[in-house]
Structure 1
Amino acid sequence: MTKVISNQYMLKQASKQQWYFFHHTNTGICFKKKLENEWSDYEILLKDGQGDFDIIIDPRDNIHLICQDKLGSIIYLMYNGQQWHKYVILQSKNNKAYPKYFKMLFVNGWINLFYVIQYKDKNLLVHHILDNNNVSPNVIDYIVTSARPFSVSAENSGNIHIYYQDNTDSNKIGYRVYMWSKKTWSDFISIDLENYDAVLPYIIIDHQDNIHLTYLKKSGKNYDIIYKRKPSNSYNKALWDKEVVVYNRCYEDAVPVIMKVDKQLLILWQQDIKVLSSSSDDDGITWRKPSQFMAGRYGNIGLFGFRIPASMDKDNIICDQCYGYNTNNDINLYIISNYLEQLPAAKPEPEFKMSGYEVEEFAEKHKNSFLFPSSNPSVPAASPAAAFLRSSTSQSNTGVDNSIESTKLKIMLNMLQEDLSQTKKKLLELSQFSRIDEDLKNIIDEQYRTEIEKLKVQFQQLLERIAQIEKIQDNIIRTELERINKEITIIKRNNNKTSFTDLIHKVEESKK
């Protein structure tokens, strides 16, 4: 199978903002935003962006997108609620773009990136933890490519499972487990299947850490859709449940996906211009006869990524991909669209919770104890993007306390900048009042005397707040800016040196 699934994604932030990302041949990677009940006109995000890309939302409601440009270099984009930032992760020396099948997971405060690169007529599956200089990009294995060459999901503890076909004579479906506490991958564990002629593995891990797997198995001229379940905390391949045939007589391009909604498991797949679904109410032991969704006449059927942040209520939904269709006016996902509208939104929690969270209180309490990145060259300093990629739990195993304090400081600085911006706006309003004709001022004063007096009090308080903040933070801001500029210089220098070839040579040398 050589068909590449075109990527399109439905997102909902904790702020209730909905996004639709998609790729268009002539305009690159684009997006629309839902404003009230209507979708906006599309905007071009990256004109050189290619058709394979992935998106996630972090706990702070930032949007992260990974893709490649027309020359094959890997590009990372991050939206912090105000603007997009662009970084080059790996440069391509052969200036050739090909499907890399990007996939991102946000685990323990870090973005884990998975992709495929080509080397000597083989395909290497790579694991790359973004912005973590302590963990180098790691080649997991040589794999067989298809419309979906691998599927990845994480346990509650952060251990990552990746399923794929190894590139051997038998092309077995199996998996490896990344033990987060050890930062190492297990050996390849093949799954005992009744027939090894199987393709397109796809998994989800539920909230109890049970693994639900679906794949296609060759049966004569057609394929069967197979389901298998593996109980939680069971790494022994013999403990898989017996396989269940969910459906037969489908083609190789059916591309099944599995999701869990409430207590019901569902498997969806496409057959011609129809989308079929089978469900199970007993955790995969028995499956209902497939039913058909109404399709074809409403819009273009496709496979969508489904993304909502961890701060929203996901207890009843486990879904990474879902079939749906788009029309001129709307985008609809089968089963999930109703949940997308009804999901409760929660205001993103601050990345760090501490006593004295107000700026003055925090600064006064810690003005003599701010910790900056270590001068020890063996401990890399955090890069400018680190504050957006880490959460409070991400440092539990690294021991880099200075990076945590640095990130806290950046949060404080962001709050200060917002305060200063709002204050300047208020002062501008006040200055405009002083230029109004005297007679008009008297009329305004008569009508709005109470409101103006309140504003004056607020302005005076804000002026005092600025003075306090600037007095405390002046040296800290200057030091931070100098350090960040140095880090940006180092990042640019490193980006100009890093390439796919460098990564491959490094892997080959390590195997000798």
Structure 2
Amino acid sequence: MYNSKNKQYVFKQSTGSVWNFFSDERKGICYSILSKRNTWSEPVIVHKDFLPPFYIDMDFEDNFHVLFQDKQGNIFYTFLDKSNVKTVQVLKSNIPSVYNKYLQLTATRNNINIFFIVDHNNSHILAHQTISGKVINPPKVIDYIFKNEHPYSILTDKSGSIYVFYQVSDGKYIQIGFKKYTPSQKTWGEFTSVTRYNGDCQFPKAVIDNKDIISIVYQRKTEKNIELVYQQKVPERNMWSVETVIHSSSYSFNNSSIVLSNGNINVFWIRDDNINFSMSSDLGKSWGKPSKYSFPVSKQLLCFSFKSNNPYECDKVYAKEIPGSYLNGYRLAFYQEGSNNTSISTDELKSMIIDGMHLLKGNVEDLIESDNSIKDSISRIDNMYKNIHKELIKQSVKISYLEGEIAKLRNNVKVTESPSNHDNLENPENEDE
């Protein structure tokens, strides 16, 4: 049964290997790997003692980053690659508390950004915490937030800036807006409203494509119905597009989201295990009539989160939530894999080359930064060596001086202890003669 709180995470690595992360009531957080025959391997347990749900992301180097809490409310982070599993506690619960903290994370080049909601004095605080290398930084408050089934959504643009969309109260209604985080400055910007509606706006779901175009879908309540609304923002403008009502109903759109696939924008919602959707093929300018999506599985319909690092498809699909099933390995709605068709268009090839250049540029920048750090260290060591050399010369001069003084003292002692001096001391009258 489709349930967005129980996601099935499917990741395709750059090598083509497909991993599936999921939770099991007895085994905990597990993963399986898809074989060439489209069969899943036996589950491997990552963590057994945890409180559902968990969250996971894959970075551009095919590493996995898992965020979960234990049954006492403590939050843990796990780094996982082909050979290592490392887990650290990032936040300790002062009082054992068992409730959904709505964990999310995003892995950027040098930092792991963690997000969660904590309850405090009948209020709900959206917090942000970073892990830089081995350093776990203390959490910081983003804002007070209105909490429901889907309280916030995060995404990251090509520059590494992070957007968090969330719900706040304007004193009368629940509205949706966002804040932007700039990693280089380590600061959050001011809250920017997306909605200014005379009614409650809820359940923000946002995605971003390879051109940094942001799409958001949410529901808003009218006097008679509930509307599913789409809006868009392009990077060159600070304004959002006009609201497009995709569909209206007397039922909630809590199981709804956006899938960007093959240049199309698909807004979908689930009713009685049926996929309903409306599609735009012209970047949101016009929309097709809402209809049911033909999918081979209904009762076994599940909520997937899909991400690919495969160069032939990483820019073809963006889906934090997408209906799917484990039919013949896995099958996703709105997106059929082109495993036998690897041809790409000129624009897609250009985009891949540009992305590759950005990636190489980032790696070169990291190498330059490391080289500069090494040069600074060498310079400090060289200065230390010069200072030590100067100090050795000073000490050598002092030692030479002391050796000379000791030699003089030894000569004086020898003269004093010679036999002639003893005779002169015993026969002082000889001097008178």
TM bin, normalised by shorter chain, reads 0.7 to 0.9
**Larger RCO of the pair (alpha carbons < 8 Å, separation 6+):** 1
Distance 1:113 1:287, change over 3 A: same
Distance 1:195 1:353, change over 3 A: closer
Aligned to 1:7: 7
Q: Which amino acid aligns with 1:232?
A: P
What is the CA distance between 1:342 and its match in structure 2? 6.6
Aligned to 1:90: 91
- Matched residues in 2 for 1:216 and 1:402: separation? 53
SS in 2 for 1:203: strand
**Contact 2:220 2:227 survives alignment (8 Å):** yes
- Matched residues in 2 for 1:402 and 1:23: separation? 44
Distance 1:155 1:313, change over 3 A: same
State whether structure 2 residue 44 is matched by structure 1 residue 72: no
What is the CA distance between 1:174 and its match in structure 2? 0.8
Q: Which amino acid aligns with 1:36?
A: K
**Contact 1:104 1:113 survives alignment (8 Å):** yes
Aligned to 1:160: 162
- Matched residues in 2 for 1:88 and 1:28: separation? 18
Aligned to 1:336: 335
Aligned to 2:411: none
What is the CA distance between 1:396 and its match in structure 2? 8.8
Aligned to 1:137: 139
Q: 1:236-255 residue pairs with structure 2 within 5 A?
A: 239-249=239-249, 251-255=251-255
**Contact 1:210 1:232 survives alignment (8 Å):** yes
Q: Which amino acid aligns with 1:218?
A: K
Distance 1:219 1:341, change over 3 A: farther
Deviations for 1:70-102, whole angstroms, at most 9, x for unmatched residues? 111111122221232222111223222321212
- Matched residues in 2 for 1:11 and 1:308: separation? 6
What is the CA distance between 1:313 and its match in structure 2? 4.4
What is the CA distance between 1:271 and its match in structure 2? 1.3
Structure richer in helix, relative to its length: 1
- Matched residues in 1 for 2:375 and 2:42: separation? 41
Aligned to 1:401: 373
What is the CA distance between 1:216 and its match in structure 2? 0.6
Q: Which amino acid aligns with 1:126?
A: A
SS in 2 for 1:48: coil
SS in 1 for 2:30: strand
Structure richer in strand, relative to its length: 2
Q: 1:356-367 residue pairs with structure 2 within 5 A?
A: none
- Matched residues in 2 for 1:138 and 1:57: separation? 24
**Contact 1:213 1:228 survives alignment (8 Å):** yes
What is the CA distance between 1:181 and its match in structure 2? 2.9
- Matched residues in 2 for 1:158 and 1:86: separation? 24
Q: Which amino acid aligns with 1:160?
A: I
Q: Which amino acid aligns with 1:188?
A: F
Q: 1:69-218 residue pairs with structure 2 within 5 A?
A: 69-131=70-132, 133=135, 136-169=138-171, 170-218=173-221
Distance 1:93 1:192, change over 3 A: closer
**Contact 2:165 2:204 survives alignment (8 Å):** yes
What is the CA distance between 1:324 and its match in structure 2? 1.5
Q: Unpaired segments of 5 or more residues in structure 1?
A: 355-389, 406-512
- Matched residues in 2 for 1:280 and 1:221: separation? 27
- Matched residues in 1 for 2:127 and 2:334: separation? 33
What is the CA distance between 1:159 and its match in structure 2? 1.7
**Contact 1:4 1:99 survives alignment (8 Å):** no
- Matched residues in 1 for 2:82 and 2:66: separation? 14
4+ aligned runs moved over 6 Å, structure 1: 340-344, 394-400
SS in 2 for 1:401: helix
SS in 1 for 2:143: strand
What is the CA distance between 1:310 and its match in structure 2? 7.5
**Contact 1:198 1:216 survives alignment (8 Å):** yes
- Matched residues in 2 for 1:343 and 1:54: separation? 31
**Contact 1:269 1:323 survives alignment (8 Å):** no
Deviations for 1:404-449, whole angstroms, at most 9, x for unmatched residues? 99xxxxxxxxxxxxxxxxxxxxxxxxxxxxxxxxxxxxxxxxxxxx
Q: TM-score, normalised by structure 1?
A: 0.63
In structure 1, which of residues 224, 228, 237 is the aligned counterpart of residue 227 of structure 2? 224
Deviations for 1:13-40, whole angstroms, at most 9, x for unmatched residues? 1222212111122332122221222112
Distance 1:313 1:14, change over 3 A: same
**Contact 1:175 1:188 survives alignment (8 Å):** yes
Aligned to 1:449: none
SS in 2 for 1:130: strand
**Contact 1:268 1:275 survives alignment (8 Å):** yes
**Contact 2:216 2:230 survives alignment (8 Å):** yes
What is the CA distance between 1:173 and its match in structure 2? 0.9
Among the aligned pairs, what percent are the same residue?
Answer: 26
How large is the RMSD of aligned CA atoms in angstroms?
Answer: 3.3
- Matched residues in 2 for 1:394 and 1:116: separation? 33
Q: TM-score, normalised by structure 2?
A: 0.74
Greater Cα radius of gyration, structure 1 or 2: 2
SS in 2 for 1:338: coil
Q: Unpaired segments of 5 or more residues in structure 2?
A: 344-351, 378-433
State whether structure 2 residue 25 is matched by structure 1 residue 53: no
**Contact 1:50 1:70 survives alignment (8 Å):** yes
Distance 1:43 1:166, change over 3 A: same
Q: Which amino acid aligns with 1:86?
A: T
What is the CA distance between 1:270 and its match in structure 2? 0.8
- Matched residues in 1 for 2:342 and 2:63: separation? 18
Distance 1:193 1:136, change over 3 A: same
Q: Which amino acid aligns with 1:20?
A: N
